[in-house]
Amino acid sequence: MGASESRTPLAPAGIAPGNRRLILPRHRAAVPKSADLIDLAVLPAAPDLAAAVAGWLAHLAHERRLSARTLEAYSRDVRQFFAFLTERFGMAPEIAHFTDCAPADLRAFLAARRAEGVDARSLQRALSALKSLARQIARETGQAAAALGAIRAPKAGRRLPRPLSPTDARAMTTTALREGEAREPWILARDAAVLALCYGAGLRISEALSIRRSDAPIDETDAVTITGKGGKTRSAPIIAPVRRAVEDYLKLCPYALKPAGPLFVGAKGGPLSPRIVQLAMARMRGALGLPDDATPHALRHSFATHLLARGGDLRTIQDLLGHASLSTTQVYTGVDSARLLAAYRSAHPRA
Q: Which of 150-154, 185-189, 248-252, 283-287 has the least mean pLDDT? A: 150-154
Q: What is the pTM of this model?
A: 0.59
Give the per-residue pLDDT at 36. 42
In a domain, 1, yes or no: no
In a domain, 308, yes or no: no
Same domain as 284, residue 172: yes
- At 65-99, the pLDDT tens digits run 887 888 888 989 999 999 999 988 888 899 988 88
Give the per-residue pLDDT at 28. 36
Which of the residues 65, 162, 297, 339 is marked catalytic? Answer: 297
Which of the residues 97, 113, 204, 243 is marked catalytic? Answer: 204
How large is the average pLDDT for residues 122-132? 89
Whether 11 contacts 17, CB under 8 Å: yes
Q: Is 300 labeled as catalytic in the residue annotation?
A: yes
276, 294, 312 - which closes a domain: 294
Could you tell me the CA-to-CA distances from 219 to 28, 109, 110, 183, 267 in Å, in that order?
Answer: 31, 56, 54, 27, 25
83 vs 310, more confident: 83
The alpha carbon of residue 334 and the mean position of all alpha carbons in its chain are separated, in whole angstroms, by 22
Which of the residues 113, 190, 285, 323 is marked catalytic? Answer: 323
Whether 281 contacts 293, CB under 8 Å: no
Q: Which of 29-38, 246-255, 260-269, 338-347 has the least mean pLDDT? A: 29-38
- At 98-125, the pLDDT tens digits run 888 888 888 888 888 888 888 888 888 8
Residue 141 structural domain: 21-149
Q: Is 229 labeled as catalytic in the residue annotation?
A: yes
Same domain as 134, residue 189: no
273, 294, 315 - which closes a domain: 294
Which of the residues 97, 300, 301, 306 is marked catalytic? Answer: 300
Same domain as 132, residue 222: no
Same domain as 194, residue 137: no
How large is the average pLDDT for residues 148-165? 71
2 vs 238, more confident: 238
In a domain, 327, yes or no: no
50 vs 265, more confident: 265
Q: Is pLDDT above 90 for 64? A: no
Domain count of the chain? Answer: 2
Q: In CATH, what number is assigned to the domain containing residue 208?
A: 1.10.443.10
Same domain as 171, residue 140: no
Q: Is 297 labeled as catalytic in the residue annotation?
A: yes
Which of the residues 229, 234, 255, 339 is marked catalytic? Answer: 229
Q: Is 332 labeled as catalytic in the residue annotation?
A: yes
Give the per-residue pLDDT at 330. 55
Strands in 211-269 per DSSP E:
223-227, 233-237
- At 157-211, the pLDDT tens digits run 555 557 788 899 999 999 888 887 888 999 999 999 999 999 988 898 999 999 9
With cut-offs at 50, 70 and 90, classify the pLDDT of residue 7: very low
251, 276, 294 - which closes a domain: 294
In a domain, 41, yes or no: yes
Same domain as 176, residue 115: no
